[in-house]
């Protein structure tokens, strides 16, 4: 444990002093609250007969200690409100300890208190609570990094991103404006869930620990189960299990899943992330494009009341219909190069011409993916569907019904980033086996993200899976757009961070 600061020592002494006065600084949790700050501030101006017996709890964020009366500001989960505390009213008898000693000397900014009283408007015109009763609910023994302001300039703010992400609890206290991001994220997920439930699809759960990882091209995290004496993997996707349920007879299943990929970290990638995957029988990828447009448009309307949303410097309009390009059309549109008939060697020449780095492990699919990513993706601001991908890029997608060498797959790209991926699902077990075998060959060439062969999944397909359309939406990335957040860390309560040095030292000890 780090050496205590002078402030921390004084606060710990205050805990002892409170107990010596018969006041428990961490009492039993029950405290009846009958109002929130935002309700009071919104409703009291309309009717000043309201909140005359209010009970509220929150954290002390500022104090102005005076003689026989003082002011304080407390913050609850939805806002802040001023308190007016008069010594002779919270201490009606001769013993003024609660005011003179407890409130003035033993309480600090950051402490959580409960107060009862009535709401009024001060001579300065500020809605406040005239406190009649005050109780200590939790003593803070570590001082808050209080934001200070002088001459309109804010300083000493808790704004360092790494500190904010590491200590999200503290970030939410001193930067309460960021709470709204997470409220919107939850509302977004609820909108999606309600939308899918209305369609009659079943929400399910599938394994996180899997004997084989599959459903995506990614490196897994590996662990070991002692009782089973076997290696297990944290899932990189839940696709193959959801398809098993379609084989089993469900018409539509979906899951909000925590997935894990042992890859790089940046402002768009976290090793632990959330996806929503949906599989619907007897549908195809064109049907799924329409569903995605409808669902995302509803999300925008539910969160913002408008289909137009400001994301960074751009205004994104999620109103249907969205623009659509085939992958080859997009590459030709942005580069004037038609790659549709090129083999691997010709694609490598195109990469050299466009100054795109490649390596020997890249097959035809990876090369096309690099060309698209480098020349097209960064230019797609408004929601756009890119569809009809080369078969080499999509080991789980159904072959195109009329175009040789392509599969029925699309991605929705918005603000230069993919937000979803979808297929007409491959349900031919023989074709699927051949695709898996080609992935194994890529793995032997050094592709660390190639898929493994899943015999049980192939066995399920051999029993027959109906024509199916599948969809995966990155919840974190969609939340970034819907909340105008710069980094994925801004929409995760507790993003993965490099361990603090002090923590690793303590762990080794």
The answer to pTM > 0.85 is: yes
Least confident of 61-70, 364-373, 436-445: 436-445
Tens digit of each residue's pLDDT (9 = 90 or more) over 120-139:
999 999 999 999 999 999 99
Average pLDDT (263-285) is 95
388 and 260 in a common domain: yes
If DSSP states are collapsed to H, E and C, what string results for 326-344?
EHHHHHHHHHCCCCCCCCH
pLDDT > 70? residue 349: yes
Number of domains in the chain: 2
pLDDT tens digits, 310-333:
999 999 999 999 999 999 999 999
Q: Are residues 190 and 73 in the same domain?
A: no
The domain that contains 243 carries what CATH number? 3.30.930.10
- Average pLDDT for 212-225: 91
Give the pLDDT band (50/70/90) at residue 394. Answer: confident
252: pLDDT strictly greater than 60: yes
Question: What pLDDT, on the 0 to 100 scale, is given for residue 392?
Answer: 81
- What is the CATH classification number for the domain harbouring 113? 2.40.50.140
Is 262 inside any structural domain? yes
Which residue, of 144, 164, 192, is where some domain finishes? Answer: 144
Does residue 221 share a domain with residue 135? Answer: no
Strand, coil or helix: what is 506? helix
DSSP state letters, 107-158: --TT-EEEEEEEEEE-TTS-EEEEEEEEEEEE---S-----EEETTEEES-S
For residue 104, give the DSSP letter.
I
Polymer length in residues for the chain: 509
For the segment 13-65, what is each residue's pLDDT rounded down to a tens digit?
999 999 999 999 999 989 999 999 999 999 999 999 999 999 999 999 999 99
Residues 130 and 199 occupy one common structural domain:
no
Specify whether 287 is located in the same domain as 428.
yes
In this structure, is residue 347 part of a structural domain? no
Overall average pLDDT of the 162-173 stretch: 93
Is 461 within a domain? yes
Instruction: Indicate the average pLDDT of the chain.
Output: 93
Q: Which domain holds residue 126?
A: 6-144
Last residue of a domain, one of 100, 124, 144: 144
Same domain membership, residue 135 and residue 185:
no
Is residue 170 packed enough to be buried (19+ CB in 10 Å), middle (13-18) or exposed (0-12)?
middle
**Residue 332 counted as domain residue:** no
- Token readout for 371 is 């060309």
**Once rounded to an integer, what is the mean pLDDT over residues 385-394?**
90
Report the SS3 class of residue 352: helix
- Closest CA relative to residue 91, chosen from 82, 80, 83, 100: 100
Indicate whether 362 belongs to any domain.
no
The mean per-residue pLDDT over the stretch 217-241 comes to 94
Q: How far apart are CA 284 and CA 295, in angstroms?
A: 17
* pLDDT for the residue numbered 506: 41
Q: Say yes or no: 244 and 315 in one domain.
A: yes
The answer to whether residues 183 and 135 belong to one domain is no
pLDDT score of 148? 64
Last residue of a domain, one of 127, 144, 161: 144
The answer to the question of residue 1 being in a domain is no
Q: Examine residue 267 and state whether it is found in any structural domain, yes or no.
A: yes
For range 175-187, the mean pLDDT: 95
Query: What whole-number percentage of the chain has pLDDT above 90?
Result: 83
Check residue 121 and give its pLDDT. Answer: 97
Claim to verify: residue 213 and residue 256 sit in the same structural domain: yes
Q: Are residues 313 and 241 in the same domain?
A: yes
Residue 265: both structure tokens together: 């970290």
Rounded percentage of the chain residues whose pLDDT exceeds 70? 95
Q: Do 133 and 205 belong together in one domain?
A: no
Could you tell me the two tokens for 382?
């408004």
pLDDT of amino acid 298? 98
In this prediction, residue 215 carries a pLDDT of: 85
When pLDDT is averaged across residues 251-277 and rounded to a whole number, the result is: 95
**pLDDT at residue 124, rounded to an integer:** 94
**The two structure tokens encoding residue 315:** 């205004």
The 3-state DSSP class for residue 44 equals: coil
- Do 266 and 318 share a domain, yes or no? yes
Output DSSP code: residue 378.
G
Indicate if the pLDDT at residue 160 is higher than 90. no
Express each pLDDT in 448-507 by its tens digit: 777 788 999 999 999 999 999 999 999 999 999 999 999 999 999 999 998 876 544 343
- Tell whether 140 is covered by a domain: yes
Instruction: Return d(Cα 394, Cα 405) in angstroms, integer.
Output: 11
């Amino acid at each position: 444990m780090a050496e205590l600061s002078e402030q921390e020592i004084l606060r710990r002494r205050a805990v002892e002093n409170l107990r010596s006065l018969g006041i428990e600084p961490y009492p039993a949790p029950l405290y009846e609250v009958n109002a929130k700050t935002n309700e009071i501030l919104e409703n009291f101006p309309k009717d000043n007969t309201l909140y005359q017996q209010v009970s509220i709890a929150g954290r002390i964020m500022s104090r102005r200690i005076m003689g026989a009366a003082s002011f304080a500001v407390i913050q609850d989960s939805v806002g802040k409100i001023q308190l007016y505390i008069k010594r002779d009213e919270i201490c009606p008898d001769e013993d003024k300890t609660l005011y003179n000693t407890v409130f003035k000397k033993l309480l600090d900014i950051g402490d959580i208190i409960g107060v009862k009283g009535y709401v009024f408007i001060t001579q300065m015109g500020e809605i406040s609570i005239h406190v009649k009763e005050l109780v200590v609910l939790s003593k803070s023994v570590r001082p808050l990094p209080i934001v200070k302001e002088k001459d309109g300039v804010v300083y000493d703010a808790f704004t360092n991103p790494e500190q904010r992400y590491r200590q999200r609890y503290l970030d939410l206290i001193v930067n309460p404006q960021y709470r709204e991001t997470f409220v919107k994220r939850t509302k977004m997920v609820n909108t999606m869930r309600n939308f899918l439930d209305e369609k009659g699809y079943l929400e399910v759960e599938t394994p996180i620990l899997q004997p084989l990882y599959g459903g995506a091209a990614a490196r897994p995290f590996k662990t070991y189960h002692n009782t089973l004496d076997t290696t297990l993997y944290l899932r990189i996707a839940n696709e193959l299990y959801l398809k098993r349920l379609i084989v089993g007879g469900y018409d539509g299943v979906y899951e909000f899943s925590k997935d894990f990929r042992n890859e790089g970290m940046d402002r768009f990638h976290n090793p632990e992330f959330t996806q929503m995957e949906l599989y619907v029988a007897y549908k195809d990828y064109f049907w799924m494009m329409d569903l995605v447009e409808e669902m995302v448009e509803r999300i925008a309307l539910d969160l913002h009341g408008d289909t137009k949303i400001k994301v960074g410097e751009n205004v994104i309009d999620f109103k249907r219909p969205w623009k659509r390009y085939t992958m080859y059309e997009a590459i030709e549109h942005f580069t004037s190069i038609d790659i549709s008939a090129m083999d691997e060697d010709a694609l490598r020449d195109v990469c050299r011409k466009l100054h795109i780095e490649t390596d020997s492990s890249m097959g035809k699919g990876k090369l096309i993916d690099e060309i698209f990513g480098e020349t097209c993706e960064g230019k797609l601001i408004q929601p756009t569907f890119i569809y009809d991908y080369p078969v080499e890029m999509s080991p789980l997608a159904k072959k195109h019904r009329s175009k040789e060498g392509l599969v029925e797959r699309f991605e929705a790209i918005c603000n230069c980033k993919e937000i979803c991926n979808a297929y007409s699902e491959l349900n031919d077990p023989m074709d699927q086996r051949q695709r898996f075998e080609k992935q194994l060959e890529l793995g032997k060439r050094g592709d660390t993200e190639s898929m493994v062969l899943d015999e049980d999944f192939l066995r399920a397909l051999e029993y027959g899976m109906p024509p199916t359309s599948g969809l995966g939406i990155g919840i974190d990335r969609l939340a970034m757009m819907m909340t105008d957040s710069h980094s994925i860390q801004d929409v995760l309560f507790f993003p993965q961070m490099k361990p603090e040095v002090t923590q690793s030292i303590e762990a080794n000890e």
